[in-house]
Amino acid sequence: MIKSVDILDEKNKRLHEISEEVVFPLTKEDGAMIEEMLEHLVNSQIEEVAEKYNLRPGMGLAAIQLGIKKRYFVIAHERNENVFDKYVIINPKIISHSEELIYAGGGEGCLSVNRGVEGIVPRYARITIEYKDKEGNTQKLRAREELAIAVQHEIDHLNGILFVDKIDPNDPFKDEDNMRMI
């Protein structure tokens, strides 16, 4: 049986709180939670497993989505069928970004938002972040396109922002012509 993580719904006010810096060394609980989060994301993207255990597919998950108010998130990015690049990002800071803006053509989704949402979320096409790995070492990640969107989406979670907060309710496709769809 696959363990399922308990993801907060968008109505939960904790999702709008700013997460706190992680202090190293990581606690055993945080280390175990990071592994559970990655396992959940990978399982959610493998179609047979997701169907069997009724998992919504997700690429990223922030600790705050599980009610843990700490600045870390994980991403499982499917490189090839059922082959994933796994990222554990702790205390991230965006250190540079492109001028070019993009948006997800099918719209962004979120494991905390259990409904379809129309509209576009402007994101940088390329970003570089500095972050800590599980051992507390400083790392850099350059991300582009889909991975860049996922990283920005998860950093927003750490800052108490949901993607739906970034969509203009009066004009959900505002400035669409000034961005590239991916």
Element (H, E) at 29: helix 28-45
Task: Kindly name the residue from 36, 47, 135, 154 that is annotated as catalytic.
Answer: 154
Residue partners of 130: CB distance under 8 A and separation at least 6: 92, 93, 95, 138, 139, 140
Task: Answer yes or no: are the C-beta atoms of 75 and 150 closer than 8 Å.
Answer: yes
Of 62, 1, 76, the residue nearest 33 (C-alpha): 62
Active site residue 10: no
Q: Which residues are catalytic?
A: 154
